[in-house]
Amino acid sequence: MKKVDIHTTLDVYEGIHELAEQDQSLMQQAIDARGRAYAPYSSFSVGCALLLENGEVITGNNQENAAYPSGLCAERVAIFYAGSRFPGVAVKKLAITAGPKDNSLTKPVPPCGACRQSIAEYENNQGTPIQLLFMGAAGKVAKSSSLKDLLPLVFDRDYL
């Protein structure tokens, strides 16, 4: 038997003001998208903005449904739209902001497991890392240099 040690490193910024200009602009677009979320059941709104290598920015937000499981997270709304509108164009960065509608949450909110798995599909296919930036409604921003940092033991097509 041998132990396998898996490490994750994140950069944590004190606030959006500490980010480089491009990251700040992307997070601002995620904040704007969060304001358009449709979250009447959870009152937890999420916004996402992703930057493609062709310079396009795609935004998304959570879309809930009276039949709860029929709703979809912001990250998947955005990345599925990117995949459908610009197939084969690499995703460079993805910014997420999330929290209850009263904006009380100030700790970084990472994407849920299903969203990580969905983002991994695109990262694996494109062969280049997707940077992830995530925050609450305000406050600290965490940044990972690859989806692999958030989902190290990913299930991908190599197992099929």
**Known catalytic residues?**
75
Judged by CB under 6 A, the chain residues 89 through 148 that form the site for ligand THU are 111-112, 115
Q: Contact with ligand THU (CB under 6 A): which of 33, 46, 82, 151?
A: 46
Helix (H, G, I), strand (E, B) or coil at 111: coil
Length of the chain equals: 160
Q: Which of 31, 90, 28 is nearest to 55 (CA)?
A: 90
Under the binding rule (CB under 6 A), the answer on residue 75 touching ligand THU is yes
Shortest CB 82 distance to ligand THU, Å: 16
Angle at which helices 113-126 and 74-85 cross, to 10°: 30
- Closer residue to ligand THU (CB): 23 or 64: 64
- Closer residue to ligand THU (CB): 62 or 131: 62
Structure token pair of residue 42: 């959870």
Q: Which of 93, 99, 103, 107 is nearest to 141 (CA)?
A: 107
- Judged by CB under 6 A, the stretch of 68-76, 79-87, 139-147, 151-159 that binds ligand THU is 68-76
Structure token pair of residue 6: 């898996």
Strands 141-144 and 91-100: unpaired
Under the binding rule (CB under 6 A), the answer on residue 150 touching ligand THU is no
Binding site for ligand THU (CB under 6 A): 39, 42, 44, 46, 62, 64, 71, 73-75, 111-112, 115
